[in-house]
Amino acid sequence: MNALQKIALVVIVTLLTVGCGGKRLASLDGTHVCYEPRYAKGFTILADTLGGGTIIRITNPYQSDTHFEQLLYLCDEGTPQPTNFDGVVVAEPVRRIAVLSSSFVAMLDAIGCVERVVGVSGLKFITNESIRRAAAENRVGEIGYDSNMNFEQIAARRTDIVLLYGLYGEDAATTAKLRELGIPYLYIGDYVENEPLGKAEWMVALGYLCGCEERAIAEFAAIEQRYTAIRDRKYCSAYKPRVMLNLPYRDTWFMPSKHSYAVRLIEDAGGEYIYPQNETPSSVPIATEEALLLASKADFWLNVGQVTSLDELRAVAPRFAEVDAVRFGRTYNNNRRTSATGGSDFWESGAVRPDVVLSDIVKILHSEAPTDSLYYYRQLE
C-alpha cells in the first residue's frame, strides 16, 4: 500500500462525510426554500423540514448547454444521515476547505471563515494576506489544478470539502478521484453570473456551508445596499460616456455580450457600452478594423489586458495609438492591485466587492467624482 492509499484509507474511516456529486434527491418532499437568491442564478438553499438538515442546490455552475445539478446535504455532527438522499452528505460546519478559485478565498474572507482554507489552487497568485501568511507557516498548501491536481496534498490536510471551479463541464477525473478518497466536493458557479451582485451573493451559499449563514446574509445585504446606492445616483443623465473594452487576444478582438458582467457594471455606472449589438450569451470575435472603428468612437477604454502604461499599450496595439481615449489619457486598467507574482485582486476580492468596483467606474466615467481614490483601477499614463 503506497502513501496515497494509506492516507485515503484514514480519510475514509475517519471522515463522517461521503462524497458523490451530481445526483438528485429521491424526493424533494418535505423541503422548502429557506434562501432564494435575489441576483444569483446558480444556487438555492433548501431546508429539510423532517430531518432538520439544509440542502445546497447548485445548477449549471459552468459554461455549458448541458444541464447540471448537484445537491449537498448539510447535517449536524452526530445526526443520522438522511435515508432518502443519494448525494453529497457533509457534517456542518465544515472546518477544513480546499478551493480551486481565488474568488472563493475572498468569499470565505468576507464571511470571516478564511482561516478554514487549507489548500488553494494557484497559491502563488493569491493576494489575500491571511492566506499568504498561512502559506508561509505551512497551514495552507498548493493543491494544483486540472491533470496536475495534488490529491495527496488534499487528503494529507484532512480536507472536509473541495470547492470546485469548472469551465465547460464536470471534471470527471477530479470528481472520481475525490469520491475514491471519500472527500466531498461542491461546484461553485460565481464566475458565470452576469449580475455583479449575483457573483457576490454566492458568499451566502458558503455561509450555509460554514454554519455562519446569518453573517453571510448580513454581509451581502450591506454590499447590496452600497451598490444600489451608487447605481441609483443620477450621473450625467443627458449624456452617457461610451466605453470600449479589452485588447486583442492572439490577433482576435473579443467583445463581451451586452448582458455580461463588465457591461452591467458600465451601465450601472452611467456609461454606454460601445458594442451593444452582441446579444449572444458570450463574447464574439470581431476584426481589428471594426475594433479600431469602435475605439475611435469611444470616450473611455477599460480593461486593457495586462498593460500598465500608455507606452506599453501603444506597443501592443500600435494602430490604436491615436484614438481619443489614448491621446487624452482616458484609458484605465483594472490591475492596480496586482501582486509581485502576478495575482490580481480585481478577480479575487473584486468578485465579492462589486460596490467598490462600481465606485471606481463611476469615478472614471464622471468628472465630478475624483479618480485619485481608485481602488482596483488605475489610469494609464
- Residue 370: its pLDDT value, please? 63
Domain boundary among 225, 249, 266: 225
φ/ψ of 285, rounded to 5, equals: -80, 140
Q: Are 124 and 10 in a shared domain?
A: yes
Residue 264 contacts by C-beta under 8 Å, 6 or more apart in sequence? 194, 195, 196
**CA–CA separation, 146 and 132 (whole Å):** 22
310 lies in which domain range?
234-379
Distances (CA, A) of 74 to 94, 105, 292: 9, 21, 53
Q: In terms of domains, do 302 and 244 share one?
A: yes
Whether residues 207 and 168 share a domain: the answer is: yes
Residue 177 shares a structural domain with residue 264: no
Single out the residue in 193, 225, 257 at which a domain terminates. 225
144 and 244, same structural domain? Answer: no
28 and 129 fall within a common domain: yes
Indicate if 94 and 194 belong to the same structural domain.
yes
- Contact yes or no for 365/270 (Cβ under 8 A): yes
Shared domain for 240 and 196, answered yes or no, is no
Residue ending a domain, among 199, 225, 251, is 225
The pTM for the full model equals 0.89
| Cell triple for 204 | 451566502
Question: What is the predicted pLDDT for the residue at 329?
Answer: 94
Q: Residues 74, 191: one domain?
A: yes
pLDDT computed for residue 320 by the predictor? 94
For residues 219 and 241, state if they share a domain. no
Q: Looking at residue 30, what is its pLDDT?
A: 80
Pairing of strands 31-35, 43-48: antiparallel
**Is the domain of 155 the same as that of 184?**
yes
C-beta of residue 275 within 8 angstroms of C-beta of residue 285: no
Q: Which residues of the chain have pLDDT under 50?
A: 1-25, 236
Please report, for the domain that includes residue 294, its CATH number: 3.40.50.1980
- Going through the chain in order, the beta strands assigned E by DSSP cover 31-35, 43-48, 54-59, 69-76, 88-92, 97-99, 117-120, 141-142, 161-164, 185-187, 242-245, 253-255, 272-273, 284-286, 300-302, 331-333, 378-379
Backbone phi, then psi, for 24, in 5-degree steps?
-95, 160
State how many domains the chain has.
2
Residue 215 sits in the same domain as residue 143: yes
